[in-house]
A = this chain, B = another copy of it.
Amino acid sequence: MRNIKMTIEYDGSRYLGWQKLGDSDKTIQGKIENILSEMTKTTSDIIGSGRTDAGTHARGQIANFKTTSNMELIAMRDHLNTYLPRDIVVKKLEEVPERFHARYNATGKQYSYYVWNTPVPSAFERTYSYHHPEQLDVTKMNEACKILTGTHDFIGFSSLKKTKKSTVRTIKEITIHKEGDLLHFTFIGDGFLYKMIRIIMGTLLEIGIGKMSPEHIDTLFESGIRSDAGMTVPAQGLFLDEVFY
């Protein structure tokens, strides 16, 4: 059996997220599997590196699937892109060893979050960023990012109920770049809990407007109480940039 690794880009605006939900036609995984199945004339289950929420975008989602098809990779890629909706694009297909598993072998991920930070909205960034009109103190937010970096129990930054699974994660780096009126946050870590980045972002915004102090992050690590953190910012500003193996 061939094992094929896919790099996928999508504009998540119209979808319920990556993960297939029953017969729903509104997931990215579902859309790709439908076309793969028709193309290879067999049922094709694809394994994603992980879920992305409804409305979240991806520049480099990774998935793999096994197939007996002899079709060449470029012909396969072009066939997929011809039949996929235009907001889902297969950027690259690669032959990988049979043991490669897009989820189990992932060692880390990079996400971006964009904040449109000026009173007047943007017609072009409206579905790719979160509009936050009030001015943000980037120095204070950077201080908070330093405290967030490292290995911590992030249960307070998650929508998870009490769970037996570990909620300890390692954030390697958070950076903030100003690109005109857009603030670009990047997060690199070994993995992120459900809604973790969106809740961290909501907390960073509270710190940016002075409603919380950077040191509040320490309190949150100690309490682990979700309601001590900021709001969950909208998914439309979130991009899965890259999966590391």
The verdict on A114 contacting chain B, using a C-beta distance below 8 Å, is no
Stoichiometry (number of copies): 2
The verdict on A121 contacting chain B, using a C-beta distance below 8 Å, is yes
B11 touches A89 (CB 8 A): no
Point out which of A10, A57, A87, A121 has the most chain B C-beta atoms below 10 A from its C-beta.
A121
B11 touches A124 (CB 8 A): yes
The smallest C-beta distance from A91 to any residue of chain B, in angstroms, reads 6
The smallest C-beta distance from A205 to any residue of chain B, in angstroms, reads 20
A10 to B122, CA, bound (A): 9
- Please name all residues of chain B whose beta carbon is closer than 8 Å to the beta carbon of A91 when the two chains form the complex: 120
B9 touches A124 (CB 8 A): yes
A91 to B86, CA, bound (A): 30
- Please name all residues of chain B whose beta carbon is closer than 8 Å to the beta carbon of A11 when the two chains form the complex: 123-124, 126
The verdict on A195 contacting chain B, using a C-beta distance below 8 Å, is no
The verdict on A81 contacting chain B, using a C-beta distance below 8 Å, is yes
- Please name all residues of chain B whose beta carbon is closer than 8 Å to the beta carbon of A90 when the two chains form the complex: 120
Look across to chain B and name the residue whose beta carbon is closest to the beta carbon of A90: B120
A86 touches B10 (CB 8 A): no
- Please name all residues of chain B whose beta carbon is closer than 8 Å to the beta carbon of A124 when the two chains form the complex: 9, 11, 57, 128
The 5 closest A-B pairs by CB, nearest first: A9-B123, A89-B123, A11-B123, A86-B126, A87-B123
- 6 new A-B contacts, CB < 8 A, other than A81-B120, A89-B121, are A9-B123, A11-B126, A57-B124, A89-B122, A89-B123, A92-B120
23 A-B residue pairs with CB within 8 Å: A9-B123, A9-B124, A10-B123, A11-B123, A11-B124, A57-B123, A57-B124, A77-B120, A78-B119, A81-B120, A81-B121, A86-B121, A86-B126, A87-B123, A87-B126, A89-B120, A89-B121, A89-B122, A89-B123, A90-B120, A91-B120, A92-B120, A124-B128
